[in-house]
Homo-oligomer: A and B are copies of this chain.
Amino acid sequence: MKRSPHEIKYSEGTLRMARFAKALGHPVRIEILKFLAEQSCCFTGDLVEIFPLAQSTVSQHLKELYEAGLIRGKIEPPRVRYCIHEENWKKARDLFADFFQKQELG
């Protein structure tokens, strides 16, 4: 994109929420999170079996979720166990809940 001359200054909450939302902006990532929430945890390979996607693609989606802070990864060689990042999960839940509640008052 053609960058703007002056960066816009956003609140911490807005940036945080946009980050979470962006990670949730792909159906496969929502499905991964749903699966994780049910199983509590799983390995990368489990997801590769479930979704008709290349292993590298699944890994990349996991990276997105990880960098957004929605999941944790624990190395258990040679595998990696991914779980919901509960603290940030609650943070996200609260951010979205507060956000969507705003209109209700009016």
Residues of chain B within 8 A of A15, CB atoms compared: 27
Query: Do B37 and A14 have beta carbons less than 8 Å apart?
Result: no
Complex CA distance for A14 and B24, rounded to whole angstroms? 10
Q: Specify the main secondary structure of chain A where it touches its partner.
A: helix
Interface residue? A34 (CB, 8 A): yes
Query: Do B89 and A100 have beta carbons less than 8 Å apart?
Result: yes
Copies of this chain per assembly: 2
Contacts A4-B53, A97-B97: A102 and B25 contacting too (C-beta < 8 A)?
no
Partner among B84, B93, B100 whose Cβ is within 8 Å of the Cβ of A92 = B100
Query: Do A4 and B37 have beta carbons less than 8 Å apart?
Result: no
Complex CA distance for A35 and B24, rounded to whole angstroms? 23
A50-82 vs B, Cβ < 8 Å mask (1 yes, 0 no): 011100000000000000000000000000000
A-B contact pairs, 18 of them (CB 8 A): A8-B27, A8-B53, A10-B27, A14-B31, A14-B34, A15-B27, A17-B24, A17-B30, A18-B24, A18-B29, A21-B23, A37-B106, A38-B102, A89-B103, A92-B100, A93-B97, A96-B96, A97-B100
